[in-house]
Amino acid sequence: MAKTNKITANRRARVRRAVKAAANGRPRLSIHRSSANIYAQVIDDVKGVTLAAASTLEKDVKGSGKTGADKAAAAVVGKLVAERAVKAGVTEVVFDRGSFLFHGRVKALADAAREGGLKF
């Protein structure tokens, strides 16, 4: 277990380092995926504030699907966070997948955020 945690932490740090190098002042679309839910937030690292956030735990998202742990729920969260970010005046972001592979729910969230108006 300790070895897995170290590998995950190293991957997260490597991705975060690359994201911050490529950011050029753009906010970061950070995601977290658990076994039951998915979370997304747009973070301005310069000011240290969250500009927009969405997750499958919200009431309007929770009732829309059968579970918070599938691609359909991730797509709903992606569209919602994109809508809120555009409302806050953010159109260009850097995608921070953390230690998660760009596959499945993570990819579904990213594609939905792109459809919602975010560019990355």
Residue 31's pLDDT band (cuts 50, 70, 90): very high
The region of weakest confidence among 2-11, 23-32, 90-99 is 2-11
Query: Which CA distances in Å does 118 have to 25, 30, 37, 68, 113?
Result: 15, 13, 22, 22, 6
- Percent of the chain exceeding pLDDT 70 equals 100
Reported as a single tens digit per residue, the pLDDT across 34-93 is 999 999 999 999 999 999 999 999 988 887 777 888 999 999 999 999 999 999 999 999
Which helix H or strand E contains 41, and what residues bound it?
A: strand 38-44
Query: Which CA distances in Å does 103 have to 32, 33, 96, 110, 111?
Result: 13, 12, 13, 10, 11
CA distance 55 to 76: 9
Report helix, strand or coil for 107.
helix
Between residues 26 and 62, the one the model is more confident about: 26
Q: In CATH, what number does 2-115 get?
A: 3.30.420.100
